[in-house]
Chain A
């Protein structure tokens, strides 16, 4: 055990280090409006606002005036989903730190506490780690071949990627800009190979340590590193090798380094790949020829077609001339004879395609491309001109995917989310898939941005156009359970609207079939989920008003008609005396009649009672009854 004064001493030392600028503060004070709103949303559990603000770039590890971080707030207020969102977005909860322990001790229930523990820093990785690891692995990857430049030293030769070098080292950027078709580069003999190796590892996002042997040897290597880092204009490297302090400092520096590297890569990606995309008519897309030697070192073209049925003016058309004017680094690249013929004057514009010059090395992050380029199919072959590979999505979606592959960034709107979800599934990019699912499930509540519990009567916007059926089906198709849950919740809070739709019945049937395909059980997952969220919706209402007696009365009015399905987790305790969930199926079934009658009673009593709560209770019963009726109609419970 650590004594109190020791903890205080450590805290003091930490704050000293922070004020001296040696250590960056993990949780800086943030008094901006955005952050205030963010904290507020965390308290209330408003996923949508949280997600929106996170995408806007609010610092999720900052603290407010009262020294609270968003994660502490979410944990304290028992907002499981928000806490999960925060953790997935990179909120820190580290044991053995002051703020981390605060989170843990403040957790409202065990469920949240376990969640926090499972995200403990020691176990979770830096969100950028996969990207860094991939780029590091490029150094040693032999197959499929992605390298385009060889660096020769007297003893060894390194096969490297021009785009990485040029993105990471200003020196290379300049050199390669003037002579993009260089295929080998010689190093002066005065620099030891070991130093060069370290420098390259640094360029490729690897962690470079200061463990360099001893004495003289170390001195030689360090001198070499000094020299080479100045030559390549990567002076920061020397510092990061020399300084090795405590664990936290090292980690912070490492995070900074990777972040910086990512930013460099991102900048390069935006300036080269994105600016060099080409928009052509679809039927002429095949004729685009790019030489293998091009200014941005791309080795493959990805093609995405616009949606065919779009009759309106293609909106990206104005970009067309832009593409050609910004072809600065594209010296001598024949974009193809078609570029000219693609005149904007054409009236009924034909379908357009967008081509992105990209690098296989980065595409390999997707297993789909890895397999493709490792195989012996057409795409893997070396041709004079770059291969054009079509991806079955819109340019916008492709851009999201490319941005993710190059920079690990995945901020996109709800409008492309489902498409991204499907593409990520197709390309086996698991992280992007999860990300898409998260965006859908946090932003998907449409315009009802307020916390759902405040909208118990399921009032919805007429505009609300989320096709929840599609979302649920997409969840099934891409095996993202989260979406099914989201759908169930979404429907539950708007059940009045959906319960009578034929498509809802269809969805329930599909859900049932899914289960039957797996194993012989009688429950329908979707219905179970909906029931659960339904009880949640109404229960919260009753609980909030603190009028349980009232509920009691209601129950007394319709004895045995209010068997609430037992919520699954321990955070809820009001229905401790209700029968366990497993029995509800059989239990509920014979009650349908009476519940239907309950529906009839409601119209009668509606005037008499006139009470909101009573009305809620009855609505609850009616909805449950309708569900059962639906099940009976679909012959699912039999």
Chain B
């Protein structure tokens, strides 16, 4: 037992608070009600919180919470209906009501004042209610905590807010009127916004306060974000009126202003609406109203906008970057793919590209070729070919310019958008590969050729890089890579053999770029050509050493520089111009001095590489000849021998050496020369032309003097030749890389088609070897797929190749298969 137990005993609670004495509910309520009255009339500062709280507390403790709750609600309901509603109704001026019925009988100003007064009244009423209810809730805190929580009722504050909604906002604005205060408020706010859109200044704070009120009230019993009165009642109609407004505005604008102004206006509107949501309405509306503006001003109009006279086409043509970027921005807002803009842009690219194509064709055809009259070697044709070359380079430059232009637009206005870049690439590829313009490969190759020969002279490394990059960019667009390869090889071949290339390094750079871009296969042969060149250099010096070792120091010795070319990799057939068949069978007869060297080298080469046969391509060589012209009286009366160093083609040298044999005044006929040298006729003609006809290099005299060379013409040494320079280059006509004539083109294409045929066959065989059996459809698809990096074969061609393979018994048709199918025969 613990000492002192029982000393403290529990006492019943004091009578004063909890005792059996019943408190007089009515009496207490009277006190509370009169206090509420004071609160509503803003005399609360005299009231004692402690006292009011105590009264409310006791009522709740006495289980009268239900009654109290009801009384408070009734009290508020009473107050709102008798006091506040009247005040609100007083605010309703006729102006306001009239405007709400959409009769524009009053001036804007009057309506605005009426609206502002109304809003202010309503706002004040709400704020009063809000403050009073806050105080009431403070006093009734015990009821809220105990009674309302036990019985799952709304707190008195929320409940009073519902009362406000029902008794004030949902009440009819005037007896017998059918518009509720809430609707009226919505209407007034909408009208104010309309005024602001029209450029008036309105009281934003006031509206914001009203919106704040609407946000604080809920439609149903539940406090969810969606049921806020603002969302439930106001926002919808706001969006609806905005939609109407912008629909009308967009129509007007499209009619009356240009595309740039339209875009600027649209953007301004969007910013305005964002600002409005921030300053006047609620942030949560921002995305919704943005959508409305976007729908009405952009989405539904973007097509019209882009296709306007002052639309995208106009902007592109006039480099209106700012406007283009606006269009881009607007289009991106409504459509992440920017379909409309893309379409317009692609269309424009193809249009402009086609223009460039057409210009090139026109330029190349400007002087009507007189092929009918000529045999195809006339200077007119030469000229036209030159012109075509110029056109080709111009074409390339135009395309590049076009590309630069669109790149700039893409970068500045289109925010470097990826989708648009691919679209651009596709459009460029479209017009560059257009079937109406089959020369792009050749032109690009020519462009490179031109730059390799002349263009890059005196340029810095960076500039050269840029040129190369441009070429590669264009090359990317080209579909038929094999055709390009053919041309490039041909042009490269000339550059190498004729030593036309300015820088070997740049050539190699180009090759390596192509390697990166198009792969190893593509450049293998080109590299082999370079390799041949270096080997040849070694051979030449090796031979020189060999000759020096032989020791017969012949002062008149002829120096030999030789290029040994692998016949498979070099496009030799295209080198000799026409008449190749002839040229191959007929071997040029060299003069004995030359022939000796030739044989000497053959021997040397044979020792080094046994089993190889050398074919001499005289048509492609050149020679330096030292010539001595007899003394003739000069203009100043000086008489001296003139020594010239003549750089002529190998054929030219052979011809000139003929005249060494004969005396100065003897003339040889064309046929004589032909018979003695065995030079192919066409080459002979060209060489004679350059030696005897061209005014600056007239080393031979032709009789009769005319431009054309005829078999009957006679030639003699021109002893009176005058040259300004010590070294004279005798150019052979049609020696450079030029645009092919149509006939050449056809030949090239034919050759190309042949080689494509082999490629296709190889591909088909590869595929079939792997699959053994395959349907026709699949085979074609796979073949196309496999050849895509090289070129795009036509399906008919594939069919033909398959036929031919079947004929040659590589494949056979599978009999009785449902779809056409083939089997590989090993």
Contact = CB atoms under 8 A, between A and B. Distances in A.
A390 B50 contact: yes
A542 interface: no
Contacts of B54: 392
A394 B61 CA distance: 19
Contact of B10 (A52, A374, A422, A467): A467
Contact of A392 (B17, B46, B142, B145): B17
A487 B93 CA distance: 67
Contact of B2 (A52, A440, A518): A52
A426 B9 contact: no
B146 interface: yes
Nearest to A381: B45
A447 B8 CA distance: 9
B16 A307 contact: yes
A525 B325 CA distance: 76
Interface string B1-13: 1100110111111
B333 to A, nearest CB: 44
A413 interface: yes
A466 B9 contact: yes
B12 A467 contact: yes
User: For the side of the interface on B, what is the size category?
Assistant: 35 or more
Given A377-B44, A377-B49, A392-B17, A367 B141 contact: yes
B138 interface: yes
B141 A444 contact: no
B14 A447 contact: no
Contacts of B10: 414-415, 417-418, 440, 443-444, 446, 465-467, 470-471
A278 B135 CA distance: 32
A461 interface: yes
A465 B11 CA distance: 8
A309 interface: yes
A38 to B, nearest CB: 11
Contact of A368 (B11, B15, B141): B141
Contacts, number: 111
A447 B5 contact: yes
B170 interface: no
A394 B10 CA distance: 15
Interface string A99-131: 000000000000000000000000000000000
Interface residues of A, number: 53
Interface in A27-69: 48-49, 52
A353 to B, nearest CB: 13
Nearest to A450: B1
Contact of B13 (A390, A443, A450, A474): A474
B570 interface: no
A365 B10 CA distance: 27
B418 interface: no
Contacts of B146: 479
A282 to B, nearest CB: 12
B106 interface: no
Interface string A371-400: 110111111110000000111111000000
**B1, B2, B48 — most chain A CB neighbours (10 Å):** B2
A16 to B, nearest CB: 40
Contact of A447 (B6, B48, B52): B6
Contact of A375 (B9, B18, B138, B150): B138
A515 to B, nearest CB: 12
A637 interface: no
B45 A415 contact: no
A463 interface: yes
Contacts of B762: none
A605 B406 CA distance: 116
Residue in B5, B16, B44, B48 with the greatest tally of chain A CB atoms within 10 Å: B5
A444 B6 CA distance: 10
A171 interface: no
A283 interface: no
A135 B189 CA distance: 48
Nearest to B18: A422
Contacts of A422: 13, 17-18
Nearest to B50: A389
Interface in A407-445: 413-419, 422, 426, 428, 440, 443-444
Contacts of B138: 371-372, 374-375, 377
B57 interface: yes
A428 B16 contact: no
A311 interface: no
A211 interface: no
A557 interface: no
A372 B137 CA distance: 11
26 contacts: A48-B5, A52-B2, A307-B14, A367-B141, A368-B53, A374-B138, A375-B135, A377-B135, A378-B49, A379-B50, A389-B50, A390-B50, A391-B50, A414-B10, A415-B11, A416-B11, A418-B13, A419-B11, A422-B18, A443-B8, A443-B10, A446-B9, A449-B1, A463-B6, A465-B9, A479-B146
Interface of A: 48-49, 52, 307-309, 367-368, 371-372, 374-381, 389-394, 413-419, 422, 426, 428, 440, 443-444, 446-447, 449-450, 461, 463-467, 470-471, 474, 477, 479, 518
Interface of B: 1-2, 5-6, 8-18, 44-54, 57, 61, 135, 138, 141-142, 145-146, 150
The 10 closest A-B pairs by CB, nearest first: A377-B49, A447-B6, A413-B8, A414-B8, A414-B10, A372-B49, A418-B13, A470-B12, A375-B138, A466-B10
